Amino acid sequence: MNARIGLLTRAAATVTALGVTFSGALVLAAAPAQAQRYVTPYGFEGSAFGTRVVSGDAGLRSGRSAWSPLGCTKEAGVTRGNKVASVQESPQIDIGAVTSTNTTYRRAKRGVVGVRGVNRIADVTLRGSDGAALALTGLATRTHVWRRDGARRFGASTDFSSSDVSVTVAEDTPVEGPLGDLVQGAQDGIDGVLAALQENGGRIAIPGLGVVRQGSAYTIERAGIGVASGYMLRVTLTDGTEVQIGRSWSKMVRDLPAGPMGGGATAVEIDALAGIVQSGRIATQPLPCEGTHGKVRRSPLAGADPGNADALVVDGARASAYGVQRSTGAARGWTEATITRAALGDGAVVLGAVTGRANVSQSADGRVRVNAAGTTIGSLTVNGTERAIPRDARSFAIPGGTARVEVNLVERTRRSIRVTAARVTLFEGTAGEISVRLGTAKALIRRK
Nearest CA among 268, 231, 247 for reference residue 441: 268
pLDDT at res. 400: 61
Task: Supply the mean pLDDT for the chain.
Answer: 87
pLDDT at res. 51: 94
Residue 149, CB-side half-sphere exposure with 13 Å CA sphere = 8
pLDDT at res. 61: 59
Nearest CA among 332, 334, 386, 378 for reference residue 355: 378
Taking only the tens place, the pLDDT of each residue in 210-228 is 999 999 999 999 999 999 9
Percent over 90 (pLDDT), the chain: 69
What is the spatial distance between Cα 319 and Cα 314, in angstroms, rounded to a whole number?
Answer: 14
pLDDT at res. 9: 36
Please give the DSSP secondary-structure letter assigned to residue 127: E
> What is this structure's pTM?
0.83
Q: Where are the domains of the chain?
A: 3-16+258-445, 31-254
Low-confidence ranges of the chain (pLDDT < 50): 1-32, 58-59
CA geometry: angle at 428 spanning 423 and 429, to 5°? Answer: 140
H/E element, 7? helix 3-14
Taking only the tens place, the pLDDT of each residue in 395-426 is 777 766 667 889 999 999 999 999 999 998 88
